[in-house]
Structure 1
Amino acid sequence: MDLEAIPGVGAKTAAALRDLEDPAGAIEREDVAALASASGVSEGRAARIVRSAIRDRHDDPGGFLSTDRAREIYDRALALLQERAVTAYGEKRLETFYPSTAPSRIEETRSFATRAMDRSVTEDALDALADVSPLSRPQSVTVRDRCLATADGETYAAARDAFPEMSVEVVDDARDLAELARGYSTVIALDEAFAGVDVDGDVRVEPGAIDDPTATIPERPLAFFATNRTAIRAAIDVHRAADLDPGTDLDDLDAALSRLDDDGSVVGDDELARLENAVEDLDAAVSTAESVANDRLKDAIKARDVTIEGSDLLSLVERGAGVDSLLSRELTDEYDAAVSEARDTLVDALDLPPEEADLARRAFPDDPTYPVERDDETISRLRESLVAQRDRRAAKQKRELAAELADRREATTRLVRRALELDVEYAIARFAADFDCTMPERGGRGFAIEGGRSPLLEEPYSDVEPVDYAVDGVALLSGVNSGGKTSTLDLVALVTVLAHMGLPVPAESARVPAIEELAYHAKTQGTLDAGAFESTLRDFAAIAEGSAAKLVLVDELESITEPGASARIIAGILEELASSDSCAVFVSHLAGEVREATAFDVTVDGIRALGLEDGELKVDRSPKKDHLARSTPELIVEKLAGEDDRQFYDRLLEKF
């Protein structure tokens, strides 16, 4: 895929995307999270890239939302969807859904939405989704306990390129290998020529190590799984709760992850834990054992009456003997017992097996001393032995676990991706359920909505009155103030936007026109000055003269200028739209005047006022066809005429 061929993707962004493992696949999957992992690409930018790629794939010219109010309706519809997503990924992924004019794109999304609506949303799955996030790259690892060794220059360069995480050393002979083995717990010789070389330490000859990165640096795959462990285990829970096909054995994957710590180390191995504890506790255990011996020997000395003949004492002094000689002569058994207890204490504290216990016992010499003293050289050798065993055991465990997990990386990536996509499906399913949605039909010049209820209103959705409304061609919509004219336009716009997004709409049934543009003009606040008035007329000229099929919704255009001029302007615009393939609804308090000024028989629909009840207006929210609705002032005058015998109100009522 030529990334720069995607509209809006320049050379710099394309270069960043190429650093991804599979940028073309991510774009094809509409994987916003994968694209956002590229350097300098935000989630919002990633969503725009995906939208551009979708338009390019479906040959979609865009431009469906041609006015600010139309875009506002889309933004509010998108917000309702995003509120029902659990993950940040779901929110951004939903931004790739947009109102399109391309039938192939609409059908593609309808298929996705239809599958989503068939899903049964479970609370357990929603709870698990809260911890699912896109997989992230781990920080680079550094390996200090192992090194690679080679005598060949080309092999050295290849190893440096393949394994920047660890040291690569140049060696000439076995003596160099032995020197490296004293500084590293493991040395991996890359040359076959070193096979059979006998040196102290853990030196392994593995000519194929460069071709087996998982075995050579198991920290790589382990770092990936450790970094993403929470998200992966949450994705496992999502698949279980939602009964999704995981494509891998979830129990085995979960068990493998349970052996991995946050830092990429292996846990759950008793022998490794013993060695780690022994290394960590060595100094403390030696000090404790030393104290045990000295305390016992001190008690023995206090409890013992020692008699030395004068000639013996003189002889000891002449020979320069000290207390050690005295201990050797008089307290040999007690010293041996104290040292034996110290040795047992050390071996028990470190939980050493027989082969390690022999070295540990030599940490306290047989020759009597007081106080009892450790042999530091022996302690050092014991430490080196334990550290080497620990590192070799850890490396072995890492290699085994890395081999098991590395084979699952692709399946795990799909597992997390599927869980994130389920969040998108769930958001659509919850939107459809919360607002009693159905999939609309597309076709014809006009729209027809039955039982439509707008979720954009401030009141609780359950309290919203359903609306039936249909228009073929152009129509004027009249009605009393606060009767629901604007909310009806909002409902028509919302249903149209959602239908062209390929999503369900909040209605019992709906049909929308297959249009190329939605032009929704909101109510103008106050009379416009000459410049703004001219600009508004230019906008309507572009709408009226364009050849594309449109749905034009206009809320009280008469407020742009004087009422008489407004009626004539609206009539002229309606005449232009009536001669095109467009559908239009103009809300106007001048519906009667506009109808008189229009050169064709324009339909006037009305939201009927049922009367005033305790000062509150009662209306039928569904517009009645071919009905010019009465105004609120007329209703108030009618109410006063019925309550008062004075003829003033009757004569005033006749003026309407």
Structure 2
Amino acid sequence: MEFESIPGVGAKTASALAEVEGAERALREGDVAHLASAPGISEGRAARIARGAIRREHDDSSRLLRTDRAREIHRELLSLLQDRAVTAYGKRRLETFYPSGSPSRIEEVRAFARRALEREPDPDVREALSGVTPLETPRDVRVRDRCLVTSDAETLAAAREALPELPVEVCEDARGLADLARSYSTVIALDEAFTGVEVEGDVQVRPDALSDPAEIAPERVLSFFATNRESIRAAISVHRTDGMDPPCDLDSLDDALSRLGPDGEVRDDAELDRLTRAVSDLDASVHTAESVANDSLRNAIEERDVTIEGTDLLSLAERGAGIDSLLSRELADEYAEAIEAAREHLIDALALDPGESEIARGAFPEEPTFPVEHDENVVGRLREELVAEKERRATRGKRELAADLAAFRDPSEALVRAALDLDVELAVSRFSREFDCTMPDFSGAGIEIEGGRSPLLAEPLEAIEPVDYSVAGVTLLSGVNSGGKTSTLDLVCTVVVLAQMGLPVPADRARLERFSEVHYHAKTQGTLDAGAFEGTVREFADLASGGEGRLVLVDELESITEPGASAKIIAGILEALAETDTTAVFVSHLAREIRSAADCEIAVDGIEAVGLEDGELVVNRSPVKGRLARSTPELIVEKLAREEGTAIYDRLLGKFES
């Protein structure tokens, strides 16, 4: 894949993506977390790259949202979706869903959404998902106890690339090999020329070593699984709880992970644990064994009356003999018992096997001496034996466990990806269920909504009155203040944005055309100055002469200037839009004046207030087709005329009806 062909990807970003194994798959699947593992690419940047790749795949050059308010609606909806995702990955993955004009892209997401709607959000699954994170590849794995050896420059380069975890040494002869064997516990020679060379130490001739990295450096596999163990286990829990079809045997994977420690060490190996304790406790156990011997011998001396003939004492003195000779002559049995006690204590304390015990016995020599002291050379040999056996056992255990886990590398990645993708599906499912959504139909012209409830309203769903509204062509939307005109525009924009993202929409039923652009102009705050007014008029002039298949939503454009001039300007814009294939809804309190100023028939819909109760408007939130809604002042005057019966109120009411 040519990464630079993706919109927004330059040479530097393409180079970073090239360093990531599986980048092409991640781009196809929108795997934001995997793309973010590339050097210097943040998750936000990865989401934008994924969107660019999706656009390229669908040849999608559309830019549906053309105004700030339209883009704001999209951001608010995306935030609502993201709030229903559990994982950080799910929140980022949802950012790859964008409003599109491409039929193939919309249908691709619709297929995903249909699967999502079949999901039943389970609290236990969501709890399990909270522990799932994208898998990481450790970059700082280093092995210090073994090395690779070669005399060939080409092999040297290949070894450093294939096994960067291990030091690679250059060696020409047996002497150099022997030096390395004294520095490393294991030396792996890659050249067949070293076959038959005998040196002291663990030296292996393995010309094929580079073909099996997991055996030579099992730390690579173990580090990967140790780093990602909790996430993989959480993904296992997700699959079990949700009943998903797993890519491998979950029990076998879970069992292998249970044998792996948090730092990549092998767990539940009793022999390795014994050797580890023995190495750790060796010095302390030797000193304790010395104390055992000396205490035993001191007690024996204190309890024993030793009688020495004068001639014997004179003989010992003439020979310069001391306590050692006296012990040998008078307390030989007691000394032997003390030494045996020290040996048994050392063997028992370290749980030594027969071979190790044989070395340990020599740590306390039989020649009488007081106080008893260990032989440091023997203790050193025992330490070397224990350390060597510990490292051999650890390496063997690592290789065995790495061999078991290596087979689960790809399945584990698939397992975690499936769990993370499930989070995205469940987010869509929760959004759809919480806002009573349905999949819309793309047919006909304009837009038709039945039972729509805007998720952007700051009210509980059950408190929102459902809205029915349909529009095709150019329409004025009239209505009382706070009657729901702006909310209706928001609902229309919401339905279009979600539908063209390929997602379900908050309505009982929705039908719409596939729009090429969405222009939503929010209410202007205050009258514009001359420059801003000119810019706004230019913008709408360009809009009126633009392309086909657009949706234009405008909220009270009359606020840009004086009411009389506004009505004429809006009438002219609507006339121009009516001549194009545009669906437009203009909210205005000047509907009567605009319709009078227009040279063509302009449809007017109304959000009607059906009366006043206790000073509060009672409103039918669904716009009535072909009805110019009465204003709040008209309703108040009507109420006064009905209640007071004074002529002035009838006269005022007549002005509204003329």
**TM-score band, normalised by the shorter chain?**
over 0.9
Written as runs of structure 1 = structure 2, the 5 A alignment for 1:419-438 is 419-438=419-438
Match of 2:616 in 1: 616
Q: Match of 2:278?
A: 278
How far is 1:176 from its partner? 4.2
Q: Normalising by the residue count of structure 2, what TM-score does the alignment of the two structures yield? A: 0.97
Question: Match of 1:336, SS?
Answer: helix
| 2:62 is the counterpart of 1:62 | yes
| 1: CA distance, partners of 2:188 / 2:527 | 84
CA–CA distance in structure 1, aligned partners of residues 435 and 609 of structure 2: 27
Show CA shifts across 1:53-92 (max 9, x none). Answer: 1112212122100111100111111111110111111111
The residue matched to 2:316 in structure 1 has which SS?
helix
Match of 1:207 in 2: 207
How many Å separate the matches in 1 of 2:117 and 2:335?
Answer: 83
Residue of structure 1 equivalent to 2:581 = 581
Alignment-derived partner of residue 251 in structure 2? 251
Q: Distance in 2 between matches of 1:560 and 1:427?
A: 41
Residues 165, 220 of structure 2: 8 Å contact kept? no
Aligned-residue offset at 1:651? 3.1
What are the residue-to-residue correspondences of 1:305-384 with 2, within 5 Å?
A: 305-384=305-384
- Comparing 303-312 with 98-107, greater Cα deviation is found at 303-312
2:548 is aligned with 1:560? no
Amino acid of the structure 1 residue aligned with 2:246 = P
Contact 1:214 1:406 in 2 (8 A): yes
Find out whether 1:474 has 2:470 as its counterpart.
Answer: no
10 and 155 in structure 1: CA distance in 2 versus 1, 3 angstrom threshold: closer
Residues 363 and 437 (structure 1), Cα distance of their counterparts in 2 relative to 1, 3 Å cut: same
For residue 318 of structure 1, report the CA deviation from its aligned partner.
2.2
Q: CA deviation at 1:491?
A: 0.3
- Which residue of structure 2 lines up, in the alignment, with residue 648 of structure 1? 648
Mapping for residues 518-557 of structure 1, pairs under 5 Å: 518-557=518-557
Which residue does 1:639 correspond to in 2? Answer: 639
How far apart in 2 are the matches of 1:171 and 1:607?
A: 89
Paired residue type of 1:532: A
Name 1:45's counterpart in structure 2: 45
**Matched-pair contact (CA < 8 Å) for 1:518–1:551:** yes
SS of the aligned residue for 1:450 comes to strand
Aligned counterparts of 1:123 and 1:303: Cα–Cα separation in 2: 76
Segment drifting more, 70-79 vs 17-26 = 17-26
2:25 pairs with 1:25: yes
Q: Following TM superposition, by how much is the alpha carbon of 1:279 offset from its aligned partner in structure 2, in angstroms?
A: 0.8
The answer (yes or no) to whether the contact 1:17–1:38 under 8 Å persists in 2 is: yes
Q: Distance in 2 between matches of 1:548 and 1:35?
A: 37
TM superposition shift of 1:329: 1.6
Contact 1:444 1:514 in 2 (8 A): no
Deviates more, 1:169-178 or 1:559-568: 169-178
Return 585-594 or 122-131, whichever deviates more: 122-131
**Cα deviations by residue, 1:278-334 (Å, 9 ceiling, x for unpaired):** 111111111221112212222222222222233322322222222222221222221
**1:7-40, CA deviations, whole angstroms, 9 ceiling, x for partnerless residues?**
1111111111111112222211111111111111
Structure 1 counterpart of 2:86: 86
**1:11-410 equivalence runs, <5 A:** 11-410=11-410
1:153 Cα deviation from its structure 2 partner = 4.9
Q: Which amino acid aligns with 1:125?
A: V
CA distance in 2, matches of 1:440, 1:161: 53
| Distance (Å, rounded) in 2 between the aligned partners of 1:434 and 1:56 | 33
The AA in structure 2 aligned to 1:480 is V
* 2:13 partner letter: T
Further displaced range: 626-635 or 184-193: 184-193
Q: Indicate the SS of the match to 1:333.
A: helix
Query: Structure 1, residues 440-468: CA drift from partner, whole Å, max 9, x if none?
Result: 01132211100000110111122111000
- Structure 1, unmatched stretches of 5+, are none
Q: Give the aligned partner of residue 626 of structure 2.
A: 626
Q: Which moved more, 1:407-416 or 1:583-592?
A: 407-416
Q: How does 1:488-503 map to 2 (within 5 A)?
A: 488-503=488-503
* Partner deviation per Cα, 1:248-271 (whole Å, 9 max, x = no partner): 111111111111112212111111
Count of aligned pairs between the two proteins:
656
More displaced 10-residue stretch of structure 1: 321-330 or 349-358: 321-330
Give TM-score scaled by structure 1 length: 0.97
CA distance in 2, matches of 1:431, 1:205: 61
Identity fraction in percent:
65
Q: Provide the C-alpha distance between the structure 1 equivalents of 2:178 and 2:17, rounded to a whole number of angstroms.
A: 46
| CA-CA distance at 1:151 after TM superposition | 4.5
Amino acid at match of 1:429: S
Deviation larger for 156-165 or 23-32:
156-165
Moved more, 133-142 or 417-426: 133-142
- CA RMSD between the two structures: 1.6
Deviation at 1:152, TM superposition (A): 4.5
- Give the 3-state SS of the residue equivalent to 2:144 in structure 1: strand
Offset at residue 157 of structure 1 (A) = 4.3
Does the CA-based 8 Å contact 1:8-1:49 persist in structure 2?
yes
Inter-partner Cα distance in structure 1 for 2:194 and 2:56: 58
Task: Summarize deviations over 1:395-438 as a string: whole Å, max 9, x none.
Answer: 11111111222222122111111111111111111111111100
Asked whether the 8 Å contact 1:100–1:501 carries over to 2, the reply is yes
Counterpart-to-counterpart distance in 2, 1:75 and 1:533? 28
Q: Measured at CA, do residues 349 and 633 of structure 1 come closer, stay the same or move farther in structure 2, by a change above 3 Å?
A: same
What is the distance in 2 between the residues matched to 1:273 and 1:42?
42
User: Are 2:189 and 2:206, in contact at CA under 8 Å, matched by a contact in 1?
Assistant: yes
Letter in 2 for 1:595: R
| Whole-angstrom CA distance in 2 between matches of 1:172 and 1:567 | 94
Contact 1:453/1:506 (CA < 8 Å) preserved in 2?
yes
CA change 1:158–1:53 in 2 (3 A) is: closer
CA contact (8 A) 1:605 1:628 kept: yes
Post-superposition Cα deviations, 1:361-420, rounded to whole Å, max 9, x if no partner, equal 111111122111111001100000000001111111111111222222122111111111
